[in-house]
Amino acid sequence: MAASAADDIAELAITSLPLDTRFLPFHLRQYGGFWLLEEFLMAVPAVHSVFKPRPSDVLLASFPKCGTSWLKALAFATCKRAEHPPHDLNHSLRRGNPHDVVRYLEMAFAQSTDNNGAGDVFAVLSSPRVLATHLPYSLLP
C-alpha cells in the first residue's frame, strides 16, 4: 500500500510540471530545464535510489529519435568485440535488435518499479556495461 501511495505522490508531482503535447502521442514535462517524457520522469527516483554506476560503464546519452539504435549497435560491437567477434554467426546483434542488448536505464527501472522494485537489473552484467539513456547528465546518479 505504501508503494502505491508513493507512486501517487510522484505522479501528482509530475503532473504539476509544465506540459507540452506537440510531440504526440507522448506528453513532455519540463523538469530541471529539460523537456522529458512523463514515463522517463517516473523512473528517475528509482534510477537514483537503486542504480550503482561503475567506473567502466559506457553510457550512451542521446535525444529520442536521433540514431540511438545505430549508436547502440556500434558501441556494443566495439565494447564486446572480444566476447562477440564480427564473424560470430551467433552474435547478439544477428539474433536481436540493438535495443535488446543495450537497454535503456530509465525504462528498465520504470518496468522494475511496476514489478514491486526488482532492484538493479544491470548489476548482473559484466563490465564494461553498455547502457543507454534519454535522461540529461544532470539527472543521472
pLDDT digit string (tens) for the chain, length 141 residues: 345 555 666 677 888 899 998 888 888 899 888 888 888 888 888 888 888 999 999 999 988 888 899 999 999 999 988 888 888 888 888 888 999 999 998 888 776 555 555 567 888 888 899 999 988 888 888
3-state SS, residue 22 = coil
134 is catalytic: yes
Q: Are strands 19-20 and 34-37 parallel, antiparallel or unpaired?
A: unpaired
The single residue of 48, 91, 99, 134 carrying the catalytic annotation is 134
Query: Does residue 25 have a cis bond before it (omega within 30 degrees)?
Result: yes
Ordered by where they begin, the domains of the chain are 2-139 (3.40.50.300)
Query: Phi and psi of 116, rounded to 5°?
Result: 60, 45
Q: Give the rounded distance of the alpha carbon of 26 from its chain centre.
A: 17
Residue 92, C-alpha cell as written in the block: 547478439
Tell me the whole-structure pTM to 2 decimals. 0.77
